[in-house]
Chain A
């Protein structure tokens, strides 16, 4: 049952092969049995899940509901869930029970989805390995000594281990795509503004975007359909029509122009990952695509620019955690300043503090022009690289991450080396473009991701291109050993 796609599960539910309650219980049992070794969940919502499944069963019995009615999924613990603890991977929110649902949660609930629980993540989504979580690192189901990537590491690991058929994630600099690559699943970061950010705890507001994490592009299309769309509660929500993401999945790729940026295949890229990506691209040639070498000349500036823009926005966003209205408060504050300073020092972990401090510095008097303003200008140059490229090609392809899952602890002491894990994904967020990571052939037995970048609002095209590879190959069907019965 755990290897079935959403479409297959939906058909089985309708045929009465099993009920949503049975399906939900099946995945809850798997989580109970297998997650101790992975730590992919922070909170499991058994009671809420079973009662939502009962409601879904009533709908199904009445012949109502849609494709997602009764399908269990997991939410990254960055999405506010009414009445359910929402920690964002932080001690700051250890006891935070959200008074409302994020729009993503509301929409998926309305589509009939059952929430199995909240997945582990890097604290406040700041990290590329899931090691910054206050709730402990997540382990990669392919090799539990290695990281699953981050920040949506819990979502990626639980889908890879088939503890949930699908999960939600968020991506500010690669946090859906990089863990999807390292765990061998499909992860889509939509165009900035495509999915509402309301109720999604903010990290860097001009970059943050939510998306689906699944075992196939076809499932990602189904989930995105329910997640996407205008929301007046998000001031940067895109007021654009939502197309049918499943309709064109099988469209022919003859004549598709694929751009390969030479900057994505240079120094720093692991040889085995390069080989996997090239093998996938060879498959696209067989499918009739034309491959063109392109250049994104400002690629090397993406990481430096990001580490000004994202921390600056984070320092502003995280000022809301002050120990006054919700979240952690220190014991016996002697005055208001002491209350702020100690509550924040105790509630935030090291990486979050580093980014708050860097951001505060970049925005402080005398440094704003040299850092933040300069970064915003370079952001424009990076974005223009893509605009030029999309005049020549339909999609851009390359590796998602420079290497496969590294060992837990290996890079923890060196923040800058960790930041380079996102070297191929960050520019996409700076430009606001959609990108998807899908499994390529394993590299030395470990998952490797192919990243496909599209033009603004071209999610349907990305899903089509991804799905065609998944029709032609079995890369996405590879799963970790010891998945159980």
Chain B
């Protein structure tokens, strides 16, 4: 499986990572090589095999819906790039 520039562009958009035109060629090559490595999987017969999502086959644990943490908004927002009145600021989304 080999990826072309259009494929890389599409994946990069889905992943929200900017890829410059200069990087395109080497990224397409590296990703194609990795897919070449992964390709070995397709030869394996997995008919009837149950997918393994958890190494210990454990069910997801649930907890009761109780307040366990105290409010630490100021502390958490002290490391944010930009905040105002307790809100995280990003460029305008709705015109």
- Residues in chain A within 8 A of chain B (CB atoms): 95-97, 99, 191-193, 206-207, 232, 235-236, 238-239, 300-301, 303-305, 307-308, 315, 319, 322-327, 329, 333-342, 344-345, 348, 353-354, 356-358, 360-361, 364, 370-371, 373-381, 383, 415-416, 419, 430-433, 456
Contact = CB atoms under 8 A, between A and B. Distances in A.
Interface string B63-87: 1000000001001101111100000
B18 A300 contact: no
B12 A324 contact: no
Contacts of A323: 81
A341 B41 contact: no
Contacts of B90: 324, 333, 336, 339
B31 A377 contact: no
A339 B60 CA distance: 34
A239 to B, nearest CB: 8
Nearest to B10: A364
A256 B21 CA distance: 59
A456 B79 contact: no
Contacts of B14: 360, 364
Interface residues of B, number: 52
Contact of B51 (A322, A340, A358, A380): A380
A358 B49 CA distance: 24
B33 interface: yes
A432 B17 contact: no
Contacts of B91: 333-336, 338-339
- List of 6 A-B pairs having minimum Cβ-Cβ separation, nearest first: A432-B55, A376-B51, A345-B18, A329-B81, A377-B46, A380-B52
B25 interface: no
Contacts of B19: 345, 353
B6 interface: no
A358 B37 CA distance: 12
B31 A235 contact: no
Interface of B: 3, 7-8, 11-12, 14-20, 27, 30-31, 33-42, 44, 46, 49-56, 58, 60-61, 63, 72, 75-76, 78-82, 88, 90-93
Nearest to B47: A377
A381 B46 contact: yes
Contacts of B82: 329
B34 A416 contact: yes
Contacts of B75: 99
B72 to A, nearest CB: 7
A203 B44 CA distance: 27
Given A361-B3, A416-B34, 13 more contacts: A97-B79, A207-B55, A239-B61, A304-B38, A324-B81, A325-B88, A336-B90, A354-B30, A357-B12, A360-B11, A380-B51, A430-B55, A432-B56
A238 B61 CA distance: 10
Contacts of B76: 99, 325
Contact of B15 (A357, A376, A380, A381): A357
B58 to A, nearest CB: 7
Contacts of A374: 41-42, 44, 46
Nearest to A333: B91
Given A99-B72, A357-B27, A304 B60 contact: no
B30 A360 contact: no
Contacts of B39: 304
B58 A193 contact: yes
B47 to A, nearest CB: 9
B72 A307 contact: no
Nearest to A93: B79
A308 B38 contact: yes
B52 A377 contact: yes
Contacts of B41: 301, 304-305, 308, 371, 374-375, 378
Contacts of B20: 345
A356 B16 CA distance: 10
Nearest to B60: A235
A376 B52 contact: yes
